[in-house]
Structure 1
Amino acid sequence: MNDRSILRFITVISLSGLALLFKKGSVKDWFLVFLFKSLLSTFLDIPVTEKRLVKYPVRYFPKYFKTNIVFDYILFPLTCVIYSQITYKWKPIQAILGVFLLSVPMTVAEEILNKKTNLIQYGKKWNWTNSFSYLTATFLASRFFITGIRFISERRER
């Protein structure tokens, strides 16, 4: 399977997963998580690619984007929604530990794509531990964000 085919496959899977936004719980909360993570990706991934720490040689719209828009604006935000849905009623320590259920497999998948394809290439100052830290931190940030929104919303309703 060539790199473009892999990218198309990931795109189809990602777009198909958008239905998960309407799964259990508050659709409003899941859209907020999705949009927050998309915004976070914009602020974090653009500088990473500008500094050439990570490159995406095979991507959609290379004239306009240096990042992988499928990952930044569909797949990763959607995965953050799934994480928030899974950990919705978990205690804080469980949610913190639960982040590894998604950040570990995503890091492994990214490392495989880095080694076997041109979908992602690490620069000299980037490796799988940076990706793992980035993924874990942004999952937690999205979870803390929606927890904060819920807290504020509940206080306003009292």
Structure 2
Amino acid sequence: MKSKKLERRFLKCITVIFLGSLPFVLKKTPIKDSLLVLFMNGYTNAIVDRFLVNRQILQYPIRFIPKEFKSNVLFDFLCLPTVSLWLYHLTKNDNPFKIVYKIVLTISSLFLVELWAEKYTKLIKWQKGWKWYYSLISLNVRALFSRLVIAIINIIEKKQEG
């Protein structure tokens, strides 16, 4: 019982931290890019998470809005999209090598929190042979994909402007 309260408190703290940081991150990037990163990332996270949860590969025993969602809506729609937006701001003037380096370094740090949560809490449970490196690779691929799509959109936009 005590563990469940601590885990709920942890989720609330994460919510406050990410909601508090969102205005600062949004301020630093063009609104079009910000909204694109947030919505695209949230959408792809929801698709991937729903696939994994429905196949009982991942489970989120303690989560927000448990009756409506089987996935972790906090992570899918707030945490990872905010980190992706922050990464976009951090890498928007970098060459491809630096972009990959910064994304892998940042996402690997975020992954360590997931690894801790899987081992010591009931926030996430990996099942059916899911390994730690699947999560690490999946998170990095999603962040790189998001960054690539925004870069392509910006290139197309510049060509259209003249």
Report the TM-score, using the length of structure 2 for normalisation.
Answer: 0.93
Moved more, 25-34 or 140-149: 25-34
Q: What is the CA deviation profile of residues 4-46 of structure 1, one whole-angstrom value per residue up to 9, with x for unaligned ones?
A: 1111111111211211342323122111111110111121110
Q: 1:111: how far off?
A: 0.5
**What CA RMSD, in Å, does the superposition of the two structures yield over aligned residues?**
1.2
Is the Cα–Cα contact under 8 Å of residues 113 and 120 in structure 1 kept in the other structure?
A: yes
**For 1:37, which of 26, 29, 41 is the aligned residue?**
41
CA distance 1:20–1:138, change in 2 (3 Å)? farther
Q: For the residues of structure 2 that align with 1:43 and 1:113, how far apart are their CA atoms?
A: 22
**For 1:149, which of 124, 148, 153 is the aligned residue?**
153
Whether 2:81 is the aligned partner of 1:84: answer no
Q: For the residues of structure 1 that align with 2:134 and 2:101, how far apart are their CA atoms?
A: 18
Residue type of the alignment partner of 1:76: L
**For 2:22, which of 18, 21, 45 is the aligned residue?**
18
Alignment of 1:126-141 (within 5 A): 126-141=130-145
**Structure 1 portions without partners, runs of 5+:** none
Q: 1:139: how far off?
A: 0.6
Q: 1:151: how far off?
A: 0.8
Q: What is the CA deviation profile of residues 112-132 of structure 1, one whole-angstrom value per residue up to 9, with x for unaligned ones?
A: 011111111111321210110
Q: 1:56: how far off?
A: 0.5
Q: For the residues of structure 2 that align with 1:39 and 1:139, how far apart are their CA atoms?
A: 13
Which residue of 2 is the match for residue 27 of structure 1?
31
Q: For the residues of structure 1 that align with 2:108 and 2:12, how far apart are their CA atoms?
A: 23
Q: For the residues of structure 1 that align with 2:135 and 2:24, how far apart are their CA atoms?
A: 25
> Aligned with 1:2: secondary structure?
helix
Q: What is the CA deviation profile of residues 102-149 of structure 1, one whole-angstrom value per residue up to 9, with x for unaligned ones?
A: 111111110001111111111132121011001100010110010011
- Identity percentage of aligned residues: 29
Whether 2:118 is the aligned partner of 1:114: answer yes
Paired residues, number: 158
Residue type of the alignment partner of 2:68: Y
Residue type of the alignment partner of 1:101: L
Residue type of the alignment partner of 1:11: T
Task: After the TM superposition, list the runs of 4 or more consecutive aligned residues in structure 1 that deviate by more than 4 angstroms.
Answer: none
Q: 1:101: how far off?
A: 2.0
